[in-house]
């Protein structure tokens, strides 16, 4: 895999990125931070996401971009006592009761004037029945930076290339699971909800190995006037939040 720096420009696109489900582990912790790892064990991952208006091809500044994903062992903060080797019975928000108030691997950033957000996290693991992925939700704030804004315009899942994931899953933090990870093509949501158009470009940060971590980048095209059906205003009132 190539070496690339986190400040490399993203390739501009003017296509509407495919939406995907939010999953049962959505929360709104109101944490504005670039580094969401909280010291959780795993291979480092630096993310650079560029938001563009799919109607105008212009950058989308001042949008609130939330990301959340599981740890190296497949667990989510807030649900860390749920066994990740057993498939969740439902993918709906609020369907799985929370077990704790941890916040690792969750956070948000406001996009800058170029529509860019950056996060420092770890390469996600996996849980039963899914390929490796990172959840993303984009709220349009009209420049007022209100954390309580509930207008979610776009919800998606970002997938990791299988070749990079295989090398990560052989590491000590990720191996020894009771169930195997699915490849992207084996994942129902990847194949049925446009996962190919939501796959990160991933490069090693180190020249000789992946121990230094990875850099992932992607351009996300959104409709700033859209109202997502995947996370609705009433979902913010559920206990998951």
Query: Tell me, what CATH number does 125's domain have?
Result: 2.60.130.10
Domain-embedded: residue 5: no
pLDDT score, position 156: 98
Domain membership flag for residue 22:
no
> What does the pLDDT read at residue 96?
93
Identify the pLDDT of residue 208: 64
Does any domain span residue 96? yes
Q: Residue 207, class by beta-carbon neighbours within 10 Å (0-12 exposed, 13-18 middle, 19+ buried)?
A: exposed
The pair phi, psi for residue 116, each rounded to 5°, is: -100, 140
Q: Domain range holding 152?
A: 44-237
In this prediction, residue 145 carries a pLDDT of 66
Angle at 46 between CA 151 and CA 217, to 5 degrees: 65
pLDDT for 10: 47
Residue 33 lies in a domain: no
State how far the Cα of 133 lies from the Cα of 125, in Å rounded to an integer: 8
- Looking at the domain assignment, is residue 7 inside a domain? no
Collapsing DSSP to helix, strand or coil, 161 comes out as: coil
Q: Determine how many CB atoms are found less than 10 A away from the CB of residue 204.
A: 19
Which are the contacts of 173, defined by CB distance < 8 A and separation ≥ 6? 41, 42, 43, 72, 73, 125
Digit-by-digit pLDDT tens for the chain (241 residues) are: 443 334 444 444 479 999 999 999 999 988 999 999 999 999 999 999 999 999 999 999 999 999 999 999 999 999 999 999 999 988 899 899 999 999 999 999 999 999 999 999 999 999 999 999 999 999 998 766 677 788 899 999 999 999 999 999 999 999 999 999 999 999 999 999 999 999 999 999 987 667 789 999 999 999 999 999 999 999 988 877 7
Query: How many domains are there within the chain?
Result: 1
Does residue 127 sit within a domain?
A: yes
How confident is the model at residue 176, as a pLDDT?
92
204 lies in a domain?
yes
Does residue 164 lie in a domain region?
yes
DSSP helix/strand/coil, 164: helix
Q: Left, alpha or beta for 129 (phi > 0: left; psi -120 to 50: alpha)? A: left
- Among candidate residues 108, 135, 109, the one with its CA nearest the CA of residue 195: 135
């Amino acid at each position: 895999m190539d070496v690339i720096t986190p400040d490399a420009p993203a390739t501009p696109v003017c296509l509407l990125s495919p939406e995907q489900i939010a999953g049962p582990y959505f929360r709104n912790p109101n944490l504005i931070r670039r580094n969401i790892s909280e010291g959780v064990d795993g291979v480092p991952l630096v993310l650079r996401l560029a938001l563009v208006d799919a109607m105008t091809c212009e950058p989308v500044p001042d949008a609130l971009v939330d990301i959340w994903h599981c740890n190296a062992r497949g667990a989510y903060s807030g649900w860390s006592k749920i066994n990740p080797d057993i498939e969740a019975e439902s993918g709906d928000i609020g369907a799985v009761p929370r077990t704790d108030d941890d916040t690792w691997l969750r956070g948000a950033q406001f996009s800058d004037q170029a529509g860019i957000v950056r996060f420092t996290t770890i390469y996600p693991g996996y849980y039963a029945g899914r390929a490796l992925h990172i959840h993303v939700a984009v709220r349009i704030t009209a420049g007022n930076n209100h954390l309580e804004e509930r207008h979610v315009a776009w919800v998606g899942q970002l997938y990791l290339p299988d070749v990079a994931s295989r090398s990560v899953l052989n590491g000590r933090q990720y191996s020894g699971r009771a169930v195997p990870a699915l490849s992207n093509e084996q994942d129902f949501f990847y194949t049925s909800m446009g996962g190919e158009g939501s796959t990160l470009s991933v490069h090693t940060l180190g020249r000789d190995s992946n121990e230094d971590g990875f850099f992932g980048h992607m351009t996300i095209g959104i409709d700033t006037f859209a109202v997502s059906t995947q996370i609705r205003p009433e979902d913010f009132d559920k206990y998951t939040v």
